[in-house]
C-alpha cells in the first residue's frame, strides 16, 4: 500500500507534542514535529488553560508539516487530558478561558452534590470515581455560584472537542473523553440525563462519537493559513490515556497497565464496565477504550510531584535534567523517606512541593529529606508502593491473575521508577512505547481510514514497530518488608491536614 500519513497532536497537562506517523501496511514509524510546554495560567487566585496559546501551537504544527513535507496530509487527530471543558454561547462565542481541574472552585462541592444525588446513585449511573475536579463538580460549582456563564451557555465542548470545532466547524463529543466527565452512563453509552436534572445542570452536551470517526476536513480559512490543501480530521481516543492504552503491545488477557505521566492511571481493560460496591469503596472508575471496551482504573498522583520539584530546583540550577535527578536518586539510601502520594498534601497546587514532602516526612515521624536524591528517591519508591497497593485492590475487585504490568507514557523513560515498580509489585514490568498517546492516536486514525481493521491488529503492528524493555523484580522480599513500612506511614499521614 501507499504510505499513509497521520499527524497526532497530544496535549498533556504539562506539555504538548505533535508526532507524524507513517504506516506502510506492516510497520509504523514516527517523527516528532513540534514540542512545547503547557501549564495553567494563574489569575486572581484561579487557574485556567491558555486555549488561545494551545490553538496557535496546533496551527504551528500544521504549518511546520506543510513547510517540511507536503501540502497534503492523510489525517490529523487531537488527544488531551480529560475532564476540563469550554462553554460556548450564542453565535459560538467562547465564554472565557476554561478552568483547570486543579482550580479550587470545586472545594466542598462534592458534599453539596451528594445531598442532591447520593454517591451510590451517582456510581450506579456512571461507574465513575469521585474526584473533585470532575466535570460534574465543576459544573455544579457554577450552579451553586449562579454563574452567568452557565445561564447563557449553549454548548459544552471538552478541550479536544473545542479544537476539533475550531478546525472543522463540527461539534461532537468523543466517547473516551465523555466517560471522564462523571455525566456519562456507560451502560446506555449516552449522557445520564437523570444527573443533569437532579443537579440543575443544563443539557448542553454534544452527540457522542466513537474513536476512529471522521469528523471532517479543515475549514477553508485553516487550510489557507497553515498551507495544507487537504486532510481529514479524525477523532482518536481524544482522552490521552485512552490513546496511550490503545498503544499497549499486550498479548493475552492477564495484564494491567500504568499510563505514567503527570498522573499515573493504573488499571485493566474490560469488555463491560465494573459497577460494584467494591469499585465505589475503592474509588475506581470506568473510562472508554478504543474498540468499545472500558478501562477499569484508578487515578494516582504521578510524576507531577517530580515535575514540580524539578521546577524549583531549576531556579537554582537551570541545567539540572531528569537523568541527573534519577542518578542522584539511585545513589541515595533506600526506604529512608516515604510519603503517601495521594494525600491531599500532594494533590493541590502549592508554591513548594519539595517542602510539602519534607513536612509530610517530619509529621509522620521520619527524618526530613534535604538533598535532591533523597526527595526524588522518596517520590519513586512511594509511587512504586502506591502502585502495589492499588494493584492489590484491583485484584480484590476482579480476582483474576495479573502476570505483567505495562507502563507507557513519559514515565516509561524513568528506568529507576520502572525497576522500583517491578520490585514492589513482584511482576515483570514492560515499558514502551514512550510516546504511547501519540502512537495510539495514530493507529486509531489508521483504523478510521480503514488501513487497520481492529485494535487487536493495531497492537500487533505496534509490537513489530517499536522496541520494548522488560524490568524483572529484584530483591522482592526486602521490598515487601518496606511496603509494610509504607502502609504504616500512610496510616500516620491520615491524621495530617492538607
Q: Which residues are catalytic?
A: 240
C-alpha 159/C-alpha 51 separation (Å) is 8
Written as nine digits, the cell of 26 is 506492516
CA–CA separation, 360 vs 339, rounded Å? 7
**486/366 Cα distance (integer angstroms):** 11
Beta-carbon contacts of residue 97 (< 8 Å; ≥ 6 apart)? 41, 48, 49, 50, 51
Apex 407 CA angle, 402 and 411, nearest 5: 150
Please write down the HEC assignment for all residues of the chain. Answer: CCCEEEEEEEECCCEEEEEEEEECCCCEEEEEEEEEECCCEEECCEEECCHHHHHHHHHHHHHHHHHHCCCEEEEEEEEECCCCEEEECHHHCECCCCECCCCHHHCCHHHHHCCCCCHHHHHHHHCCCCCCCCHHHHHHHHHHCCCHHHHHCCEEEEHHHHHHHHHHCCCCEEHHHHCCCCCEECCCCEECHHHHHHHCCCCCCCCEECCCCEEEECCHHHHHHHCCCEEEEECCCCEHHHHHHHCCCCCCCCEEEEEECCEEEEEEEECCCCCCHHHHHCCCEEEECCCCCEEEEEEEECCHHHHHHHHHHHHHCCCCCHHHHHHHHHCCCCCCCCCCCCCHHHHCCCCCHHHHHHHHHHHCCCCCCCCHHHHHHHHHHHHHHHHHHHHHHHHHHCCCCCCEEEEECHHHHCHHHHHHHHHHHCCCEEECCCCHHHHHHHHHHHHHCCCCCCHHHHHHHHHHHCCCEEECCCCHHHHHHHHHHHHHHHHHHCCCCC
Residue 434 and residue 59 in contact, taking contact as beta carbons nearer than 8 Å: no
Three-state SS sequence of 4-54:
EEEEEEEECCCEEEEEEEEECCCCEEEEEEEEEECCCEEECCEEECCHHHH
Say how far apart CA 409 and CA 33 lie, in whole Å: 18
Q: Measuring CA to CA, which residue among 242, 240, 233, 238 is closest to residue 208?
A: 238
Amino acid at each position: 500500500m501507499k504510505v499513509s500519513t497521520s499527524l497526532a497532536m497530544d496535549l498533556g497537562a504539562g506539555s504538548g507534542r505533535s508526532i507524524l506517523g507513517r504506516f506502510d501496511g506492516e510497520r509504523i514509524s514516527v517523527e516528532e514535529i513540534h514540542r512545547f510546554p503547557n501549564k495553567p495560567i494563574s489569575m486572581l487566585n484561579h487557574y485556567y488553560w491558555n486555549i488561545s496559546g494551545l490553538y496557535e501551537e496546533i496551527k504551528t504544527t500544521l504549518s511546520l508539516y506543510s513547510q517540511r513535507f507536503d501540502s497534503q496530509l492523510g489525517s490529523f487527530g487531537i488527544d488531551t487530558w480529560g475532564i476540563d471543558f469550554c462553554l460556548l454561547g450564542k453565535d459560538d462565542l467562547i465564554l472565557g478561558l476554561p478552568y483547570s481541574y486543579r482550580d479550587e472552585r470545586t472545594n466542598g462541592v462534592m458534599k453539596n452534590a451528594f445531598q442532591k444525588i447520593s454517591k451510590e446513585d451517582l456510581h450506579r449511573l456512571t461507574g465513575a470515581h469521585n474526584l473533585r475536579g470532575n466535570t460534574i463538580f465543576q459544573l455544579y460549582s457554577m450552579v451553586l455560584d449562579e454563574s452567568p456563564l452557565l445561564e447563557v451557555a449553549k454548548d459544552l465542548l471538552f478541550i479536544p472537542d473545542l479544537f476539533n470545532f475550531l478546525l472543522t466547524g463540527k461539534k461532537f463529543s468523543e466517547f473516551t473523553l465523555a466517560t471522564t466527565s462523571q455525566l456519562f452512563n456507560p451502560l446506555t453509552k449516552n449522557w445520564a440525563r437523570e444527573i443533569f436534572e437532579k443537579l440543575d445542570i443544563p443539557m448542553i452536551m454534544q452527540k457522542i462519537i466513537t474513536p476512529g470517526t471522521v469528523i471532517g476536513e479543515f475549514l477553508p480559512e485553516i487550510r489557507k493559513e497553515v498551507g495544507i490543501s487537504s486532510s481529514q480530521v479524525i477523532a482518536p481516543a481524544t482522552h490521552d490515556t485512552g490513546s496511550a492504552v490503545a498503544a499497549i503491545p499486550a498479548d493475552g488477557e492477564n495484564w494491567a497497565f500504568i499510563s505514567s505521566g503527570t498522573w499515573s492511571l493504573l488499571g485493566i481493560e474490560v469488555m463491560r464496565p465494573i459497577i460494584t460496591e467494591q469499585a465505589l469503596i475503592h474509588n475506581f472508575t470506568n473510562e472508554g477504550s478504543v474498540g468499545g471496551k472500558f478501562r477499569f482504573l484508578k487515578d494516582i498522583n504521578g510524576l507531577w510531584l517530580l515535575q514540580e520539584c524539578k521546577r524549583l530546583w531549576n531556579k537554582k540550577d537551570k541545567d539540572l535534567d531528569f537523568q541527573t535527578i534519577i542518578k542522584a536518586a539511585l545513589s541515595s539510601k533506600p526506604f529512608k523517606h516515604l510519603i503517601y502520594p495521594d494525600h491531599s498534601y500532594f494533590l493541590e497546587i502549592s508554591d513548594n512541593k519539595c517542602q510539602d514532602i519534607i513536612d509530610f516526612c517530619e509529621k509522620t515521624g521520619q527524618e526530613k529529606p534535604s538533598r535532591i536524591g533523597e526527595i526524588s528517591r522518596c517520590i519513586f519508591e512511594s509511587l512504586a508502593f502506591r502502585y502495589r497497593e492499588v494493584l492489590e485492590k484491583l485484584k480484590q475487585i476482579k480476582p483474576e491473575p495479573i502476570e505483567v504490568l505495562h507502563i507507557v507514557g513519559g514515565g516509561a523513560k524513568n528506568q529507576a521508577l520502572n525497576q522500583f515498580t517491578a520490585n514492589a509489585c513482584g511482576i515483570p514490568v514492560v515499558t514502551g512505547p514512550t510516546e504511547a498517546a501519540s502512537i495510539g492516536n495514530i493507529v486509531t486514525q489508521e483504523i478510521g481510514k480503514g488501513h487497520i481493521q481492529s485494535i487487536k491488529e493495531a497492537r500487533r503492528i505496534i509490537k513489530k514497530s517499536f522496541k520494548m524493555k522488560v524490568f524483572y523484580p529484584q530483591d522482592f522480599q526486602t521490598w515487601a518488608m518496606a511496603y509494610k513500612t509504607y502502609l504504616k506511614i500512610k496510616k500516620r499521614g491520615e491524621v495530617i491536614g492538607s
